[in-house]
Amino acid sequence: MSGYTAIAEEVLSTTSLKTILQITNPNTNPASHRIAVYGVRISGAGTNSIAEPARVLVGRQTTAGTGGVALTAGFGPVPLDPAMPASSITAVKGPAGAWTTEPTLTDVIMAQKIHPQTGMGEFIPLNDEPRVAPNGRLAVLVVATISVAITAQFYWREGH
């Protein structure tokens, strides 16, 4: 098993719930090729010190949506060990205007509120990690009262 990461940086949030980062386990992978997401980091580059906290969700999505853009070159999916093979997982990011149809959110795995000028990181205990089966998606979604530049990152292992 090898670890991988993907980062969507400086994606602008809006006043409605928007996908910031989405990872997809392709349906071409065998049923046994599940991924385990063991970490997530989210931070904001807000400029208003008295702004209301942004609502942050990590959840499964049943559709890919229409739109999204490729991650910045070198930002993922990237193996944490450079000797490991490339990941078969795909990753896309907002900004909100990139989604002509927002992906469909189903199961919410994590919900937090963070101040737009701060961030949070969570590493999930072994065996409690959310799994993503082939043709499955996991995403970071954000809604804020003001537009905030959000950076979101997932860490995962493949082959579960």
CA count, 13 A, side-chain hemisphere, 116? 24
pTM of the prediction?
0.92
- Give the rounded percent of residues in the chain with a pLDDT score beyond 70: 98
In the predicted model, is pLDDT for residue 31 greater than 90? no
pLDDT digits (tens, 9 = 90+) for 56-101: 999 999 998 888 888 988 998 999 999 999 998 999 998 767 888 8
Q: Where are the beta strands (DSSP E) in 13-53?
A: 18-25, 35-44
Query: Which tokens is 123 given?
Result: 């590493």
Shortest CA distance to 51 belongs to which of 143, 141, 116, 147? 116
Kindly list the domain boundaries of the chain, sorted by start residue.
3-158
Which of 55, 36, 10, 48 lies closest to 152 in space, CA to CA? 10
Q: In one letter, which amino acid is 71?
A: L
Residue 16 reports pLDDT greater than 90:
no
Query: pLDDT of 32-61, one tens digit each?
Result: 889 999 999 999 998 888 889 999 999 999
Half-sphere exposure of 62 (CA within 13 A, CB side): 4
Task: Compute the CA torsion angle 44, 155, 76, 131 (nearest 10 deg).
Answer: -110
Q: CB-based contacts of 7: which residues, under 8 Å, 6+ apart?
A: 21, 71, 72, 75, 76, 151, 152, 153
